[in-house]
C-alpha cells in the first residue's frame, strides 16, 4: 500500500512539473481584436433584432399614449438600457414571470 501511495505521489508530482514546464515554455499570446469585433457585431445584430421585436410586439400597447401598466417603451432603445433601468428591469421581470409571453415572442421570431 505504501508503495502505491508513493507511486501516486511521484506521478502527481511529475504531472505538475510537466504542466508547469509546458506553461513556462509557451508564453500566452495576447488577445487579438478580431474576436472582440466579431462579438460586438453579433451583439449589435442581436440588439437590432430585439429592438425590432420590441417595436413590433410591445410598443403598440406600451406607447406614450396608452401607457399600459404604466410602462412606456416607445422611444426607448435596447442599446441604452442604462438610461431607463427601472423600465427595463420591469420588462425583464414580466418576461420571466410570464413564460407564456416569452415563448409567444420567441415563436413569432421563427
Residue 42, Cβ neighbours under 10 Å: how many? 10
**Domains contained in the chain, number:** 1
- The rounded distance, in Å, linking the Cα atoms of 74 and 54 is 9
pLDDT tens for the chain, residues 1 to 110: 555 554 555 555 555 455 555 555 655 556 565 555 555 665 778 888 888 888 888 899 999 999 998 999 999 988 888 898 999 998 888 877 776 766 666 676 66
Residue 105, Cβ neighbours under 10 Å: how many? 16
Q: Which domain holds residue 64?
A: 2-109
Torsion region of 6: left, alpha or beta (phi above 0 gives left; psi -120 to 50 gives alpha) = alpha
First to last CA, the chain: 62
Amino acid at each position: 500500500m505504501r508503495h502505491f501511495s508513493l507511486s501516486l505521489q511521484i506521478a502527481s508530482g511529475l504531472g505538475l512539473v510537466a504542466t508547469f514546464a509546458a506553461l513556462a515554455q509557451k508564453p500566452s499570446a495576447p488577445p487579438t481584436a478580431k474576436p472582440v469585433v466579431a462579438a460586438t457585431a453579433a451583439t449589435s445584430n442581436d440588439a437590432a433584432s430585439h429592438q425590432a421585436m420590441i417595436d413590433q410586439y410591445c410598443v403598440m400597447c406600451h406607447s406614450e399614449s396608452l401607457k399600459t401598466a404604466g410602462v412606456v417603451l416607445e422611444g426607448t432603445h435596447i442599446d441604452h438600457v442604462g438610461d431607463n433601468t427601472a423600465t427595463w428591469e420591469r420588462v425583464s421581470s414580466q418576461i420571466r414571470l410570464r413564460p407564456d409571453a416569452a415563448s409567444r415572442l420567441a415563436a413569432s421570431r421563427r
